[in-house]
Structure 1
């Protein structure tokens, strides 16, 4: 399923979200809509649906379903394949979050595969001689890398939730790494923006300059070392990556480039299973990510604040104003309170309660912006757009929402020689210097300061929403803008949009600091911008497009499955296959 991105020419309706009904995307979705069935709601979906950021990954997941696997087997195949074909966005040298619904056990669980800090990563290690943040060390090379979590997540999924062996579920990724895939423009462009950093490292040059020239759209990129690393993971499980040959090569590479990882830190990495955050918004049960994701807490706050208004009855300017004010307050609390739950005590019951949201709502003036500086109170935080997400539903009702990343474009820029593993640069997501924004303008304080074994705060927000009539799986990349993309998607489904319309929605965003509304081209018309400015908002309209939302939905009333893949990313794909 692929739809060209259309510029929204009409007002954003129904909470500022609906595409103009004159757009091709809206017309197609309306034409495909089926009337609600008068019969009882079916117990299971009529097949399987997968939406991911690359067609090869979607295909790999569907192949696992056809081979008798479930959504969790498909998730392994999709995740590993994305690690091969999207090195700009994610990889087994990074981490991620997997929100799962086990239909047989009727259980929701959140797999935390976030990277962890090595003991060497003290705040002082990231300061220059003047006491300022050393931005190069924080974002490039071995000091910027946390201990990877994604390989452990794939093993955990196979051992505890899947039906197929890793040798089967990793086979597509191994084959594609060995035989190669066609470079697409985003990979070429991203390499150009990070070329100076990436070509510092011998292992990176061996992968991306193997033919003597940088990756060019249309050529075939082969990664034989990565294929071998994935094969060892398939053959030996956890030990195939975190110990033995690959573990030693990772440790040696970090040491040779001046970093400090220990063998016990690598071998000691563990997945955390956590309880998701759950709450109700209108007729929807929302299940979403807990800390160390900041997304679920923020989504709970924003939706419960907005529940106090009938957004559909407001004009576009007032809807955008209220949504932005809810965003502002949620991001302020993100800055102050949230961190790794294994290290930080957080008032989560209060932050996610309807009563607390009502208090925040009471402080919103219906006609005036609240300056962010007035919300500071206590001393008080964007992951890059190049994270990735996929969504899966299978015919038994199992589902997966997974977001994974290496942080910046091509992570740290450093590939460990002989492994094909591109290391993340997630250390920059810690508050390395309290009160100093990271590479994307987000600040943090003590709750998100680095500590040995601690997981850095994230914005990744894999989410399920379910009503009597529908069930949707949602997620996106985009750094701190992940959270607001998921918010707008939920509001879009609530307003009656289809999956592809939700994926294509124009976007706007507010993150407390800086104190401004950001908006994509066409998201806010000139009259709405003028009205928002009159209320006291700073509006940066017409920014470049962001995000890469992937969603699937089961319409229980009509008995249909559908998927939406963000048209901002032309290589993504959503596909549905019927029950055999």
Structure 2
């Protein structure tokens, strides 16, 4: 991928994008001219269109895309994980956030994740039975189909069942990820049955079949919730976890519930933004960062100053994430205060445009305030319904544990709790009491599916990337605000700051040497690709897998953008459904 600096992109926008005011007087079209889907795998995008052609809407297509990703991207997500479905019903104008985040088993107390000497047991937190929360994604399929879809679940799940049964070609990222996690995955007999079925590890280009997962999906299609959370599959899930030393119960598996929550809404310049509420941390962080940044005309600034200000907004939002955010069913999240314009103005006042703020100067004490992992897809259908869905099993191939006979690779989301207060998780972010595990509690997430709408554009976007999800979505929003189209937004260079550790991370090509030097002169510490040669950890070469679609109201055309960092992703537009309302 040929990298371009953000400065060059913004300048191009200023030169070639027509002023919004010249187009705002047109009457917006009532419906899109078809449908647009962008996902991380072409088979999933194709499944979405197959479901639309069968008479489904965006919500049926979301189930189809999600289920196929669960089959072809076990590296990133699956039935053994969870996700967030941000949905927009065009007929009613209603936005809803469907929370299918995993839940903590009752047995998973913080003491379970400590070694005898009191040190944190990282292996137990990310590998095997104690790493897994109760899955939520299958329940989301049932909920969305029954409440928002037009088709039976059996129709929406048919592509995933077919692909699990017949197989799909192993791609490079899949094979590479398995090599990285093979030592853990090959601990467990159920996992070996799936991933070593041919006698050797999956190789690029080989056909990968999952007959047990096909059967599990079929039972879910035939029996709904009970087909996964009770009966044959439920019994095998509990038995498989407990055989490896875990302590799940049939009752807590069957007690899993999807939650519907009100999304976070905010205004940024000319955009109405709808995004994820807790237990996602993304929406509150976005509201803080965008309202802080609204105090400057970013497009008029030189690149080092713009990056400096964006970074300082990231630093402050992640500091608040650490202390105040958790499952709103268990802790009082001060959402109204954290998302208020007045609070953002106060944070803005602490930013020095000429100097970086060391993170240790932002209080590390609680105050009286009260990349490859994960996947995302975006859909707009011909009626204007929208779906932004981010789903995950957390790290590469989740916990590595497949309970025998299920084909279900379980998540390792328990590491997203503050299992030991103040100890960073696998993504380097910390938490305290607000995000401590409790029976039935949902762990904090960074997943941030988002809608944007202005006078002439409707946008759906999101990305995987652990704690970097939030900042990648922020950069995507700023890119759309600068006038970029969907594919240009998906290709934007990326950088990130999360309060602690106090460094700016960036992928290859994000900064020119001159910009990097200017940021260092402002007092920032940078972690760039190649720094590991000098004794540091370095930064990943590329990040994320952003998938976005947009409806241009001025010309009534649809566009899709699929991250060029991922060669198997696909964004497509079809006329399916147009004229059939």
Q: TM-score per shorter chain, which class?
A: over 0.9
Question: Helix, strand or coil: the match of 1:421?
Answer: coil
Q: Distance in 2 between matches of 1:505 and 1:321?
A: 17
State the match for 2:7 in structure 1. 12
Counterparts in 2 of 1:175-190, with a 5 A limit? 175-190=162-177
Name which of 289, 294, 301 aligns with 1:302: 289
Please state how far the C-alpha of 1:558 moved relative to its aligned partner.
1.1
Partner of 1:525: 512
Question: 2: distance between equivalents of 1:191 and 1:142?
Answer: 19
Map of 2:559 onto structure 1: 562
**Of 141, 145, 156, the match for 1:169:** 156
- Is it true that 1:265 corresponds to 2:245 in the alignment? no
Q: Secondary structure of 2:292's partner?
A: helix
Matching of residues 14-29 of structure 1 within 5 Å: 18=10
Aligned equivalent of 1:548: 545
Aligned twin of 1:214 = 201
* 1:387 partnered with 2:374: yes
Please give the alpha-carbon distance, in whole angstroms, between the structure 2 residues aligned to 1:18 and 1:475. 21
Task: List gaps (5 residues or longer) in structure 1.
Answer: none
1:6-405 superposed matches below 5 A: 6-8=2-4, 10=5, 12-13=7-8, 18=10, 39-379=26-366, 385-405=372-392
Question: In 1, distance between residues paired with 2:24 and 2:99?
Answer: 38
Could you give the per-residue CA deviations for residues 320-373 of structure 1, whole angstroms, max 9, x where no partner exists?
000000000000000010000000001100100011000000000010000000
SS in structure 1 of the partner of residue 451 of structure 2: strand
State the Cα RMSD in Å: 1.7
CA distance in structure 2 between the partners assigned to 1:430 and 1:501 by the alignment: 35
Q: 1:409 aligns with which of 360, 377, 396?
A: 396
Secondary structure in 1 matching 2:7: coil
Contact conserved, 1:11 with 1:525, CA < 8 A, in 2?
no
Check whether the contact 2:32–2:557 (CA below 8 A) recurs between aligned residues. yes
Q: Classify the secondary structure of the residue corresponding to 1:392.
A: strand
- Structure 2 Cα separation of the partners of residues 261 and 486 of structure 1: 35
Aligned partner (choices 561, 567, 572) of residue 575 of structure 1 = 572
- 5+ long unaligned stretches in structure 2: 530-538
**Inter-partner Cα distance in structure 2 for 1:414 and 1:557:** 50
Kindly indicate whether the alpha-carbon contact (under 8 Å) linking 1:91 and 1:406 is maintained by their aligned counterparts in 2.
yes
TM-fit CA distance, 1:104: 1.5
Instruction: Give per-residue Cα distances to partners, 1:177-214, cap 9 Å, x unaligned.
Output: 00000000000000000000000000110011001100
Q: How big is the shift at 1:376?
A: 2.1
**Matched position secondary structure for 2:498:** coil
- Is the 8 Å Cα contact of residues 460 and 548 (structure 2) preserved in structure 1? yes
Cα deviation, residue 540, structure 1: 1.4
Q: Tell me the CA shift for residue 19 of structure 1.
A: 8.7
C-alpha separation in 1, matches of 2:426 and 2:143: 32
Compared CA separation, residues 19 and 243, structure 1 to 2 (3 A): farther
8 Å CA contact retained: 1:77, 1:173 = yes
Find the aligned partners of 1:113 and 1:79 in 2 and give their Cα distance: 12
Answer yes or no: is 1:498 the counterpart of 2:485.
yes
Matches within 5 A, 1:483-494: 483-494=470-481
1:421 matched to 2:416 = no
Q: How many angstroms apart in 2 are the aligned matches of 1:108 and 1:507?
A: 29
SS of alignment partner, residue 434 of structure 1? coil
Match of 1:463 in 2: 450
2:436 to 449, 453, 465: 449
- Cα distance in structure 2, aligned partners of 1:215 and 1:151: 26
Report deviation, 1:379: 4.3
Normalization by structure 1: what TM-score?
Answer: 0.95
- Say whether the 8 Å CA contact 2:262–2:277 is kept in structure 1: yes
Deviation at 1:36, TM superposition (A): 5.4
Shift in CA distance, 406/19, structure 1 to aligned 2, threshold 3 Å = farther
Q: CA deviation at 1:43?
A: 1.5
**Alignment check: 8 A CA contact 2:450 2:460 kept:** yes
> Would the aligned equivalents of 2:10 and 2:299 in 1 still touch at CA under 8 Å?
no
- Cα offset for 1:6? 1.9
- From 393, 418, 436, the equivalent of 2:423 is 436
CA distance in 2, matches of 1:445, 1:174: 41
Per-residue displacement from partner, 1:7-30 (whole Å, max 9, x unpaired)? 12x4525xxx64979xxxx99x99
Mean CA deviation greater in 368-377 or 119-128:
368-377
TM-score normalised according to structure 2 size:
0.95
Q: Secondary structure at the match of 2:480?
A: helix
Please give the alpha-carbon distance, in whole angstroms, between the structure 2 residues aligned to 1:41 and 1:440.
43
1:466-497 deviations in whole A, cap 9, x for unaligned? Answer: 00110100100000000000000000000000
* Residue 78 (structure 1) shift: 0.1
